Amino acid sequence: MPIIRVNGDDFFVQLDGPAKAPVLLLSNSLSSDLSMWDDQVPVWAEHFRVVRYDQRGHGDSVVSAQPYSMDQLGHDIIGIMDALGIETAHWCGLSLGGMVGMWMLTHAPERIDKAVLANTAAYMGPAELWNGRIETARRGGMGALVEPTIERWFPEQFRKAAPATMDRMRTMILRTPVEGYQGCCAAIRDMDQRVSIRNIANSVLLIIGSRDPATTPADGELIAASIRQAKTVVLDAAHISNIEQPAAFASTVLDYLS
- The domain locations on the chain are 3-257
Contacts of 164 (CB under 8 A, 6+ apart): none
Q: Over the stretch 154-205, which tens digit does the pLDDT of each residue have?
A: 999 999 999 999 999 999 999 999 999 999 999 999 999 999 999 999 999 9
Topology (CATH level 3) of domain 3-257: Rossmann fold (3.40.50)
Cβ atoms within 10 Å of 213's Cβ, excluding its own: 12
Q: Over the stretch 100-119, which tens digit does the pLDDT of each residue have?
A: 999 999 999 999 999 999 99
Tell me how far apart the alpha carbons of residues 189 and 118 are, in angstroms, rounded to a whole number: 19
pLDDT value of position 1: 55
Q: Over the stretch 134-143, which tens digit does the pLDDT of each residue have?
A: 999 999 999 9
Tell me how far apart the alpha carbons of residues 221 and 238 are, in angstroms, rounded to a whole number: 15
